[in-house]
Structure 1
């Protein structure tokens, strides 16, 4: 499927996902077009070329590189996308914003990330991820910084239903873990940018050792995605203050929550039994409610 035929909700995020594969000059043109508030069906090719300092032929070439049949295809698809309610949700936070405006903008950015991630989610890859995680002997999760927190949350959920899972956020620990994985195991790497060296190297080693590999990232053409057998992508629009990571984390948590539910569904009774066991194990550490 080309982007000319894509779900309108997915056009913006799919274009953004391709940015790392473009040259700096091409990326500048695309980012300029995406940032144009008045971009629409009447926006001329010459206007884009003049405003970005490139030739008209270059704009057409970029449109084709993005998966369109040419500039007209890009203009038509992006115009439809810009008219969607979700596309209007993202607004930059300003120093003059009230508390109400800040809350609304942050929430709307997250809602947009969820809407657009749902639109681009590859359900075939989702099903493959579910089967690989369910059938694995060991599940090792790798992430650094904020991505490690997502990995920890997901591993915790799987452990609660009796599926063995470990989390590593140290480069050496990731490599040691990956060195011990085999054909019956799966390594899951988290990186918003897809460029986190420690996670890439660990996934690469796990794959060499025969383990299944799954990448959770914002960019399906990133180095991490290239090392993974299965890729699940989130998407989020960045801002100077929050970056892309905050909203992307929410989208990634939702993807993995859906994976978790689908895995638990494979053997629901067993999941329920193990959940009862693990909940009972920690119940003694909880203080009774006081009247």
Structure 2
């Protein structure tokens, strides 16, 4: 099931600036009216050129304005309910497909948003760190634990704990030779920001994983790996954002593992043997 124009715009809305943000806002605020407008009429209504509209359409993943317009016309108007994109008439198959489509959209948008240099910088810092502290509270603690679980399979020294007070204690022992991975979907969780501020005060580089690159966490971070998510519900804990963030962690783990080569393979083998021995 292909993703609608409305869904694609929502998935990257927080990352848009300038004319793109203006166009996206107009389209999302006028879902019924927008369906019948030509590219010239849309440009006139927003106060931009048709060339600007064309660039925007391609940026959200469509080859032409016609394809984009047809997508809008065939998409049901989203109602402001708990499950957003889910229509009351959807059957089981449609619901499942929409959930999977949201996840696919989040992954596609995320990998296209993060620049190669950002991956390179984050990987370099992690490889050079004496200790990697991984931080996340609430729903983000799931991603933090996943990162810890994966990085244990590398030669890197990593620390992670789900309890907020213990995480604060972690920051006390860290130095400017260490690196912190701080995870927050919204980038504005009070406890997470408290941790990030303490890390910054100690001149510890922060790699932020958040869906909001303009958030307070992103401002505190040295590098931000932005996860994009289609909001399939009105909760801040987006399901598709969680999947995108785990994919970011997987990518960092793989980049590190490939770089360290045999050293990583040796630890992976030893870990596998240890776990298998415990099951006998």
TM range (shorter): 0.7 to 0.9
Q: Is 1:167 paired with 2:160?
A: yes
TM-score where L is the length of structure 1 = 0.75
Q: 1:99-248 maps to which residues of 2 (within 5 A)?
A: 99-240=92-233, 245-248=238-241
Partner of 1:42: 40
Do 2:132 and 2:180's aligned partners in 1 also have CA atoms closer than 8 Å? yes
- The range that moved more, 36-45 or 110-119, is 36-45
- Aligned pair count reads 252
Partner of 1:261: 254
- The range that moved more, 73-82 or 91-100, is 73-82
How big is the shift at 1:83? 6.4
The 3 A distance-change label for structure 1 pair 28 and 169 is farther
How big is the shift at 1:18? 4.9
The 3 A distance-change label for structure 1 pair 240 and 265 is closer
How big is the shift at 1:41? 1.6
How big is the shift at 1:240? 3.0
Aligned counterpart for 1:84 among listed residues 62, 81, 85: 62
Mapped to 2, the partners of 1:155 and 1:79 lie a distance apart of 39
Q: Deviations over 1:161-213 (max 9, x none)?
A: 23222223333222211121112211111111111121122122112213221
The 3 A distance-change label for structure 1 pair 28 and 174 is farther
Structure 1: gaps spanning 5 or more residues:
1-9, 22-26, 49-59, 61-69
Structure 2: gaps spanning 5 or more residues:
1-7, 77-84
Mapped to 1, the partners of 2:176 and 2:272 lie a distance apart of 31
TM-score where L is the length of structure 2 = 0.78
Do 1:174 and 1:199's aligned partners in 2 also have CA atoms closer than 8 Å? no
Q: Deviations over 1:236-273 (max 9, x none)?
A: 12133676611111111112211111111121100011
Q: Secondary structure at the match of 2:278?
A: coil
Aligned counterpart for 1:283 among listed residues 273, 276, 279: 276
How big is the shift at 1:224? 0.2
| Greater relative contact order (Cα < 8 A, sep 6+) | 2
